[in-house]
Amino acid sequence: MADTEKTQINDIDHSMYDFRYEETEDFYRIKSGLTPEIVETLSKEKGDPEWMKEFRLNSLKIYNELKVPEWGPSIEGLDIENIATYVRPNTKMQAKWEDVPEDIKDTFEKLGIPEAERTSLAGVGAQYDSELVYHNVQDEVAKQGVVYMGFEEALKSEQWGPMVKEYFMTLVTPKDHKFAALHGAVWSGGSFVYVPKGVHLSFPLQSYFRLNAKGAGQYEHTLIIVDEDADLHFIEGCSAPKYNVANMHAGCVELFVKKNAHLRYSTIENWSKNMYNLNTKRAKVEEGGKIEWVSGSFGSHVSYLYPESDLVGKNAHAEFTGITFAGNGQNLDTGAKMVHRAPDTTSLITTKSISKGGGISTYRSAVYIDKNSKGAKASVSCQSLMLDSESRSDTIPAMTVLTDDADVGHEAKIGRISSEAIFYLMSRGIPEDEARSMIVSGFANPVSKELPLEYAVEMNNLIRLEMKGTL
C-alpha cells in the first residue's frame, strides 16, 4: 500500500489521552476466535522459527485446558473468542523519527515521546497495535553493547535468537495461568533488552504501548536480561483511548537480574477505562542482585496485576512501590508477590491505594518464604484511602513462612482523609477541593518520588484530574 491517508483525530472528553484514530484500510486483522489454524497463520506471517511455532501451538492447547480463576474481579464483559489478535499498521520499522508517518507520529507526539527523547532518554520502542512501529537506539547505547530491539527482530536475529530461545517464557510459563497460555500462543511485538556484564546505563530506557483498533488485544512480550554487575532503569508507560467494545491486554514481562546486577522497572499504567488489563510480570533475581518495581495503576476497567519477584540467589533483594487509583467503573486488583528461595534474601512492599466514585480497589499480595531462605526478611506496608462510600477497598495479603530463621512484618491501614488535615489546610486558605487533592497527592508521594520527573508530574496530574472527576 502506498501513502498513509491522513486520518481524523477524534477528541473524546477532556483528557489528553482520550483520542483515537478511525480505522482505515491501513489496518487489517486476522479472523477473530482462536483456532490452531489462526495461530499457525500468525506464526507464518511473523516468520517465526519452527520452535516458536510449536511453542505457540502448545500454548494454545494449554490455554484451552486451563480455567479462568474463581477469585478476583469478573471478566464476564470480555468476549475472548472474538478479539482480533493481530492488527498491523501500514509501516515498516523505522530507524529515524522523521520517517514515521504523520498520523502515527502525532499520536506519540501527544504522548510526549519526542520531548522524552530530547531529554536524554536512550531510545524509544513504540508499539502501535501489536506491532512495533518505531525503534531508535541511540549510538551511545549501541556502543556500550546494550542491545535494545524489537522482540520479533531479536527472535529472528542470528546473534540474539539463541538467547531469546533460552529465556523466552521460562519465567512466566504458559502453564502458569490461562492468560499466560494465551500470551504464549498469540504474543506479538514487544522489546528485547540485553545489558552486558558491568555496563551501567546512565539514563532510562523507555517504551510505550498503545491499543487502537476495536476489539484488538495486545500481547507484547518484554524480555530484559541484565547481566552480572550491570545496571538498568527501564520505563514502561502506556495509554489507550476509549471504545465501546471490550479491549484486552495480556502482555508478559520477564526480567532476569543476574549476579550483583541492578534493575529498576517503572510503569505508569493508564489504559483507557474499558480495558481488561491481564498483564503478567515476573523477575528472577540471582545472588546479590536487586530489582525495584515502581508502579502507578490508574486506568483500565479491570486489572489483574501482581508483579512477582523470585529471589533465587543468596542476598537477592526486591522492592515494590506502587499506587492504585480506582475510580468510577473500575475494578483494579493489584499487588505484588515476593518469593524467597535462597538465604538472606530481602523484600519490601509499599503500596498505596485510593478508591473513589464507586471504584473498587483490591490489594492482593503473597510473601512466600521457603525452607531454604534462612535469614530472609520481608516487610509489607499497605495503606488504603477511601474517598467516599460508593467505593470499595479490600486488602488481602498472604504470608507463608516455611523456616524459623525469617522475619516477616506486615501492616495495613484503611481509612478516609482526616478531617483535621482538611481543616488545617483550609485554615491556610486552601479551598476544600484543593486540600483533598493535595492530601491525596501527598498520600501518593512515596511512589511519585521514585518515578522520573515527567512521570511524577504525569501522575500528579492524573490524580488531580481523577479528584476533579474529569477522567
Per CB under 8 A, the list member of 47, 411, 468, 469 interacting with another protein is 411
Candidates 413, 453, 457, 461: give the one binding another protein (CB under 8 A): 413
Query: Could you give the string, one character per residue 415-434, with x where binding to another protein holds by CB under 8 A and - elsewhere?
Result: xx-xxxx-xxxxxxxxxx-x
User: Which residue's CB is nearer to another protein, number 298 or number 443?
Assistant: 443
Ramachandran angles phi, psi of 259, nearest 5°: -50, 125
The residues near 463 (Cβ < 8 Å, ≥ 6 apart) are 325, 437, 440, 441, 444
**Extended strands (E) in 17-131:** 19-21, 123-127
CA–CA gap between residue 286 and residue 345 (Å, rounded): 10
How far, in Å, CA of 447 to CA of 191, rounded? 25
Among 97, 445, 454, 464, binds another protein (CB under 8 A): 445
Based on the shown chain and the rule CB under 8 A, indicate whether residue 140 belongs to the binding site for another protein: no
Nearer to another protein, 20 or 364 (CB): 364
* Beta carbon of residue 381, minimum distance to another protein (angstroms, whole number): 10
Which window, 80-88, 141-149, 163-171, 439-447, contacts another protein (CB under 8 A)? 439-447
Distance spanning both ends of the chain, measured CA to CA: 38
The phi, psi pair for 324, rounded to 5°, reads -130, 130
Nearest residue (CB) to another protein, 272 versus 345: 345
Candidate ranges 76-84, 129-137, 244-252, 398-406; the one touching another protein (CB under 8 A): 398-406
Residue 444 as a binder of another protein (CB under 8 A): the answer is: yes
**Strand partners of residue 194:** 147, 225
Q: If binding is defined by CB under 8 A, does position 389 make contact with another protein?
A: yes
User: Binding of another protein at residue 175 (CB under 8 A)?
Assistant: no
**Residue 405 near another protein by CB under 8 A:** yes
Choice between 244 and 427, CB closer to another protein: 427
Position 403 contacts another protein (CB under 8 A):
yes
Q: How far apart are CA 74 and CA 69, in angstroms?
A: 9
Q: At closest approach, how far in Å is the CB of 404 from another protein?
A: 4
260 phi-psi bin (left φ>0, alpha ψ -120 to 50, beta other): left
Q: How far is the CB of 177 from another protein (least distance, A)?
A: 10
Q: Based on CB atoms, which residue is closest to another protein, 51 or 423?
A: 423
Report yes or no: 218 and 186 within 8 Å, Cβ to Cβ. no
Residue in this structure with the C-alpha cell 525503534, named with its chain if needed? 135
CB 121, min distance to another protein, A: 27
CB nearer to another protein: give 119 or 400: 400
Residue 348 binds to another protein (criterion: CB under 8 A): no
Q: Is 118 in the site for another protein (CB under 8 A)?
A: no
- Pick 191 or 395: Cβ nearer another protein: 395
Q: Measured from the CB atom, is 205 or 387 closer to another protein?
A: 387
Residue 384 binding another protein, by CB under 8 A: yes
Q: Write out the DSSP string of 399-465.
A: EEE--SSEEEEEEEEEEE--HHHHHHHHTTT--HHHHHHHHHHHHHHHHHTTS-HHHHHHHHHHHHH
Give the largest CA-CA distance in the chain: 69
What contacts 296, CB < 8 A, 6 or more positions away? 267, 268, 269, 322, 323, 324, 325, 444, 447, 448, 451, 455, 459, 462
Residue 185 vs residues 55, 132, 250: alpha-carbon distances, Å? 7, 18, 11
The H-or-E segment that residue 346 falls in is strand 346-355
C-beta closer to another protein: residue 163 or 414 = 414
* Binding of residue 401 to another protein (CB under 8 A): yes
CB nearer to another protein: give 136 or 361.
361
By rule CB under 8 A, what count of residues binds another protein?
63
For 153, 164, 231, 351, 443, the CA distances from 225, given in Å and listed in that order, are 16, 10, 10, 26, 33
What 3-state class would DSSP assign to 181?
A: helix
Give the whole-angstrom CA distance, residue 41 versus residue 219: 16
> Is residue 17 a contact point for another protein (CB under 8 A)?
no
Using rule CB under 8 A, residue 442 touches another protein: yes
75: its cell numbers: 471478566
- Choose which of 395, 452, 466, 471 interacts with another protein (CB under 8 A): 395
d(CA 217, CA 185): 13
Q: Given the complex with another protein, which of 30 and 422 has the nearer CB atom?
A: 422
| Stretch 45-84 residues interacting with another protein (CB under 8 A) | 69-71
φ, ψ at 140 (rounded to 5°)? -55, -45
Segment near another protein (CB under 8 A), from 57-65, 73-81, 144-152, 444-452? 444-452
Quick one: 299 or 397, whose CB is closer to another protein? 397
What is the binding site for another protein (CB under 8 A)? 69-71, 364, 366, 368, 371, 374, 384, 386-389, 391-416, 418-421, 423-432, 434-435, 438-439, 441-446
